A and B are shown apart, each in its own frame.
Chain A
């Protein structure tokens, strides 16, 4: 395996008494899409900002492109692309000016930036919006422009902090498609998300973060295999009946999770479990059978749901 692009050992970030990132270790290989999955406040963004050399490291070591963010922040940032959680675009400026000015921060010459803006607007499907002010763009377009902006310096590594939060499903799918193209071009992507479908769609490998720690790491499939069962049976009971039903579900599933509005049964065969539920005389209001997802892995590892 080639030398990792990013390597963290005991990486720690504190804000006063609060430890946002608590001695985590991880490695990101060139060309992969690596994800940090976790709820808000898990320490994902703090980790991203340390990788991006914009947030000082309190303890541990971090190497990005083999460089130390403490000493070589400028060089690291020059080779990175960053898509922050908030777009931070200049809304009063035209689309192309946002890209041009950003390119100049990297000291790219005009003759390099101009053709690159054409390519990037094409990539971001914004060519016809070139002369529009940013303020007139939709949420999805602004997000794609922010991604285009992050690519102006042809980065080897792109950090995307919650790339699709707040977008409608169609806009998300367009964005995922763009990110997939980047991956095919060999760009290494690091993504934070609290959407398990996003993590499953995009990530080759991911770690689950909770309260500043990494609680599991692996490929999406591996994580599901290791930490959950094949199938999930979701039972919804009428109001007030859930308690009683839970008492009678003992032994039906190898694991049982109680959420506010439903009961999750983790089983190898949902059909067999359903038959057993019926045999015990329980009649749920509704029944859903699905495969295990990363959401279930997260629930298993932390006892909490991702989006609360």
Chain B
């Protein structure tokens, strides 16, 4: 039986990844250890002295960890959505040669998003292991929290792929990370609760995809109450994924097929 065309693309990505997996997995492991030590334990000890009750029973570390888990999915998704598209359509143009085989642009995207999802589960899964090592939450709760973290990642990867396909050169990418991705990373309730915002601009946080992921991850890992029912958060992220996918489909097709 023939291998589904998109899966052949996933296989190629995996074969490519084999070359770097050790370094990649190592940094995926080291990163949360450093972050949670510096911010969760180091900074957290100061935070907990002042307003321990604001962050629940586990203190700042337990509150921060699932938020950072979702933020990690978010950042990884943004990168994994943008860079392969840049490489495939502009830097190496490897996707042009892929199209000379039975593979079509839509197969590439389906394959790419499948691969990104697998990578996100890997990255967030490793993060989850570190969180448990830090004594936060239960293994089952943290495992459940990995899912929304990966979902946020793929939800931003899709529109990022569309954006990257549209770009003529790299400069727009730096701008997007500087003025789009980094502010969303900082102001989506990851490091401090959005209740710290003035009431008027608080709803703006509800528009950011990361905030929804953070809500879900915290609910799963440390049982925090969410503002909306969980399916609202999931639904909102799925809208990002689907709209992003449709846009990416159009843009990638435009870029590759002329």
Residues of chain A having any CB pair with chain B under 8 Å: 15, 52, 54-56, 73-75, 77-78, 80, 82, 84, 86, 88-93, 97, 100-102, 104-107, 149-150, 153
Contact = CB atoms under 8 A, between A and B. Distances in A.
Given A77-B102, A97-B15, A107 B2 contact: yes
B12 A86 contact: no
Contacts of B5: 74
Contact of B92 (A74, A91, A104, A105): A91
A54 B105 CA distance: 10
Nearest to B93: A88
B93 A105 contact: no
Interface string B94-110: 10111111111000000
Contacts of A100: 15
B97 A88 contact: yes
B95 to A, nearest CB: 8
A107 B100 contact: no
Contact of A74 (B3, B98, B104): B104
Nearest to A77: B102
B100 A90 contact: no
B90 to A, nearest CB: 12
Contact of A105 (B12, B19, B256, B257): B12
B168 interface: no
A106 B102 contact: yes
16 contacts: A52-B100, A56-B257, A74-B5, A88-B96, A88-B97, A91-B92, A93-B16, A97-B15, A101-B12, A102-B97, A104-B12, A105-B102, A105-B103, A106-B101, A106-B102, A150-B100
B258 A84 contact: no
Interface string B1-28: 0110100110110011001000000000
Contact of A78 (B99, B102, B258): B102
B125 to A, nearest CB: 26
A114 B6 CA distance: 22
Contacts of B258: 15, 55
A261 B28 CA distance: 64
Given A15-B258, A55-B257, A105-B8, A90 B101 contact: no
A81 B188 CA distance: 50
Interface residues on B, range: 20 to 34
A77 B12 contact: no
Contacts of B96: 84, 86, 88
Contacts of A75: 102
Nearest to A100: B15
Contact of A102 (B93, B101, B256): B101
A104 B16 contact: no
Nearest to A82: B100
A150 B96 CA distance: 13
A196 B12 CA distance: 39
Nearest to B12: A101
Contacts of B12: 101, 104-105
A100 B8 CA distance: 11
Nearest to A79: B102
Contacts of A88: 92-94, 96-97
Contact of B100 (A15, A84, A104): A84
A52 B97 CA distance: 11
A153 B100 CA distance: 11
Contacts of A92: 19
Given A78-B101, A84-B100, 6 more contacts: A82-B97, A82-B100, A104-B12, A105-B98, A106-B102, A153-B101
B101 A84 contact: no
A235 to B, nearest CB: 45
B50 to A, nearest CB: 49
Contacts of A149: 97
Nearest to A149: B97
B140 to A, nearest CB: 38
Contacts of B102: 74-75, 77-78, 105-107
Nearest to A54: B99
Contacts of B2: 107
B16 A90 contact: yes
Contact of A90 (B11, B92, B99): B92
Contacts of A15: 258
Nearest to A97: B15
Given A15-B258, A105-B12, A80 B100 contact: yes
B248 to A, nearest CB: 19
Contacts of A93: 16, 19
Contacts of B19: 92-93
Nearest to A20: B258
A162 B97 CA distance: 15
Contacts of A55: 257-258
Nearest to B258: A55
Nearest to A73: B104
Contact of A77 (B3, B16, B100): B100
B100 A54 contact: yes
Contacts of B16: 90, 93, 101
A73 to B, nearest CB: 7
